[in-house]
């Protein structure tokens, strides 16, 4: 089996995760390039290209340009774009290129993506990124799956990444990630609904101590603030991930009642954020600050 060549790295998606990975991998590579639709959209083009230039990242003009100059491609886009990005890359990818899919998608979606990449002569590896990338950076824990997963994990570990191969079968890593997401994103949704409602009735000083008593290892006030802040900042992306989690449940033969409701709650918060409900909530604010904005935004 031919050894993996990872020296020329390409990132699809130059958002928060793409920026972190491109900067973190740069010291280990011969070159790092990126492709994002924002590089050609008039309203974001200048700022995004300037950021890439200052970071020493080559901003490509197209997927074809990225694939043409990359030995190792990482896909870091929104969950809903997982498959379309892999299919687009498959039309340009050079044989032997490793394609690491960092996106939060169902096992079925990852298997379809793999079929496109492998069918074009690439080497598809799925990744289940097991927690928020900040503050870990490229050291975020991730599980890899696929025929070249063990080999890629070993190479990435040498670069300081916390990558672990869990299976040579595609879908296992994603199933682990998606099942965990039902719990974690579900907790976020539950906390937001419970805390905001408690705040509306003025009973939060009674509710939170009962949670603290039942689960004493969690600081429920601090955790609540973190959950609110992450959903306000990334609710749209979380909602897309939970729709993929719902697909995962559906692929297992169950109706995804909970995953669907979680996606709806995450999207609802994202929509409030887009409306500017949380504009004046600063970094490090308490959960009460977020809940009060929700209360003030209720229909009269």
What length is written for the chain? 300
Give the model's pLDDT for residue 2. 65
User: Are residues 113 and 180 both part of a single domain?
Assistant: no
Q: What is the mean pLDDT of each run of 10 residues along the chain (300 residues)?
A: 86 96 96 96 90 96 97 96 98 97 97 98 97 93 98 97 97 98 98 98 98 98 97 96 98 98 98 97 96 95
Task: Tell whether 258 is covered by a domain.
Answer: yes
Give the model's pLDDT for residue 281. 97
Burial of 124 (0-12, 13-18, 19+ CB in 10 A): buried
Give the model's pLDDT for residue 39. 94
d(CA 158, CA 126): 19
| Cα 88 → chain centroid | 20
Task: Tell whether 163 is covered by a domain.
Answer: yes
Strand, coil or helix: what is 125?
strand
Q: Going by C-beta distance under 8 Å and a sequence separation of 6 or more, which residues neighbour residue 174? A: 105, 106, 107, 109, 110, 126, 128, 145, 248
- Owning domain of residue 286: 174-296
User: Are residues 238 and 204 both part of a single domain?
Assistant: yes
Q: Are 200 and 179 in contact (CB under 8 A)?
A: no
User: Are residues 14 and 163 both part of a single domain?
Assistant: yes
Task: Tell whether 274 is covered by a domain.
Answer: yes
Task: Tell whether 50 is covered by a domain.
Answer: yes
Give the model's pLDDT for residue 1. 56
User: Are residues 92 and 236 both part of a single domain?
Assistant: no
Domain end (from 112, 139, 169): 169
User: Are residues 22 and 104 both part of a single domain?
Assistant: yes
Task: Tell whether 256 is covered by a domain.
Answer: yes
Q: Going by C-beta distance under 8 Å and a sequence separation of 6 or more, which residues neighbour residue 81? A: 103
Domain count, the chain: 2
Give the model's pLDDT for residue 135. 87
Half-sphere exposure in the Cβ direction for 256 (13 Å, CA): 24
Task: Tell whether 2 is covered by a domain.
Answer: no
Domain end (from 169, 187, 202): 169
User: Are residues 141 and 212 both part of a single domain?
Assistant: no
Task: Tell whether 3 is covered by a domain.
Answer: no
CATH number assigned to the domain comprising residue 79: 3.40.50.720
User: Are residues 266 and 123 both part of a single domain?
Assistant: no
d(CA 108, CA 114): 10
Give the model's pLDDT for residue 3. 79
User: Are residues 24 and 162 both part of a single domain?
Assistant: yes
d(CA 94, CA 159): 24
């Amino acid at each position: 089996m031919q050894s993996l060549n990872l020296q020329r790295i390409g990132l699809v998606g130059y958002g928060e995760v793409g920026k972190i990975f491109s900067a973190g991998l740069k010291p280990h590579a011969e070159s790092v390039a990126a492709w994002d639709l924002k590089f050609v959209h008039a309203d974001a083009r200048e700022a995004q290209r300037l950021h890439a230039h200052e970071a020493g990242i080559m901003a490509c003009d197209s997927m074809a340009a990225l694939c043409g100059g990359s030995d190792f491609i990482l896909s870091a886009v929104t969950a809903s774009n997982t498959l379309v990005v892999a299919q687009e890359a498959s039309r340009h990818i050079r044989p032997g290129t490793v394609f690491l899919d960092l996106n939060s998608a169902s096992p079925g979606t990852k298997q379809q993506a793999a079929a496109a990449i492998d069918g074009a002569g690439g080497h598809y590896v799925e990744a289940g990124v097991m927690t928020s990338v900040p503050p870990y950076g490229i050291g975020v824990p991730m599980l890899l799956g696929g025929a070249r997963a063990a080999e890629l994990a070993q190479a990435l570990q040498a670069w300081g990444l916390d990558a672990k191969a869990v299976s040579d079968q595609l879908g296992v890593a994603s199933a682990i990630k998606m099942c965990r997401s039902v719990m974690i994103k579900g907790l976020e949704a539950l906390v937001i609904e419970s805390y905001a409602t408690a705040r509306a009735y003025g009973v939060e000083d009674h509710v939170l101590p009962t949670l603290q008593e039942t689960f004493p290892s969690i600081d429920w006030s601090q955790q609540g603030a973190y959950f609110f802040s992450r959903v306000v900042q990334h609710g749209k992306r979380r909602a897309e991930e939970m729709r993929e989690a719902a697909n995962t449940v559906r692929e297992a033969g169950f109706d995804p009642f909970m995953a669907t409701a979680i996606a709806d709650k995450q999207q609802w918060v994202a929509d409030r954020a887009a409306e500017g409900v949380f504009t004046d909530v600063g970094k490090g604010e308490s959960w009460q600050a977020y809940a009060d904005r929700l209360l003030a935004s209720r229909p009269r």
